[in-house]
Amino acid sequence: MTRVSVLKATGMSKKFGGVTAVDNVDIEVGRSEAVGLIGPNGAGKTTLLNMLSGLIKPDRGHVELEGKSVDGLRPHQLMRKGLARTFQIPKLFKQMTVLENVLVPLASTDMDGAAMHSKAAKLLKLVGLAGMENMLGSELSGGQQKLLEIARALTTEPKIVLMDEPLAGVHPQIKETILSTISDMKKGGVSFLIVSHDVKTITSISDRLVAMSSGKKIADGVPTEVMLSAEVVESYLGV
C-alpha cells in the first residue's frame, strides 16, 4: 500500500565546524504512522529533529509537510502548519499553573474562553494530569512535566509530533500513559517521529524504525528487520 506522507525530508545535512552531524539523510513519516528514530549518542538524531522543526537551518536538504515545501520556516510557522515538537528537557512555563501552560498556546486560536478551558481540560485528562490544573509547572515531577509538554503540543491539533526522548527517565506508569496517548492520537490521524534510546519500548510502539550512526541513516524499515540489520547490530548495539 502506498504511504501517504505527512512529513518528507530529503538530503538533510548539517555540519558544526568541521564535524558532520547529519549527512545526507532522507526520512519520511506517513499519516497515522509512528516512526522510531534510534542510534547511539552522537548519531545526529536530535540535530535532525532540530532541522525538521525549524530550530536550526540545514546546510542542505528539503522538507515537505503534506506535499508542500516548508523550507526555511521557523518553529511557530511550522506549528501553524501542523508540526509540533516536544523536547528531552520539557520547555514549560515553570511558574505558571498546569492549566495556564495549556491555555497559552490555545490563546493563539480563535476559540473563546469557555472553549479554551474545555479543550485544556480534555487534553489534561488525556495525558493523566486531570486534578493537577492548579499546580505550578515547577511542582510536577520530570515525567509529569513531559506529560504536560505533550498536552501543550496537542493544543494546535497537529498533523505530526516530533518527540525527543519522551520516555527517558520517567516512572513506568507515566511511560504507559505516554504510550497510550501516542496510540490514541495515532487512531485520530496524528503521526509521530520519536527519538528514543529505549529500544524495546520504541520497537513496540513504532510502525517503522529509522536507525542512524555517525550522522548517516543506516537502516529504515519494520522494527524486526531494522533490529536484525548487521549495521544496526554493529553500530548501535556495539557487538
pLDDT at 179 over 80: yes
| pLDDT (0 to 100) of residue 88 | 83
Q: Each residue of 122-150: pLDDT tens digit?
A: 999 999 999 999 999 999 999 999 999 99
| pLDDT (0 to 100) of residue 29 | 98
Q: Are strands 160-164 and 60-65 parallel, antiparallel or unpaired?
A: unpaired
Q: Each residue of 18-62: pLDDT tens digit?
A: 899 999 999 999 999 999 999 998 899 999 999 999 999 999 999
Write down the domain spans for the chain. Answer: 1-82+158-239, 92-157
Quick one: pLDDT band at residue 13, thresholds 50, 70, 90? very high
| pLDDT (0 to 100) of residue 2 | 59
The grid cell for 137 is: 509547572
Q: Which of 168, 166, 139, 169 is nearest to 152 (CA)?
A: 166
What H or E segment, with its residue span, contains residue 33? Answer: none
Quick one: pLDDT band at residue 238, thresholds 50, 70, 90? low
Answer whether 0.85 is exceeded by the pTM: yes
**In contact, 38 and 74? CB cutoff 8 Å:** no
CATH 3.40.50.300, domain 1-82+158-239, yes or no: yes
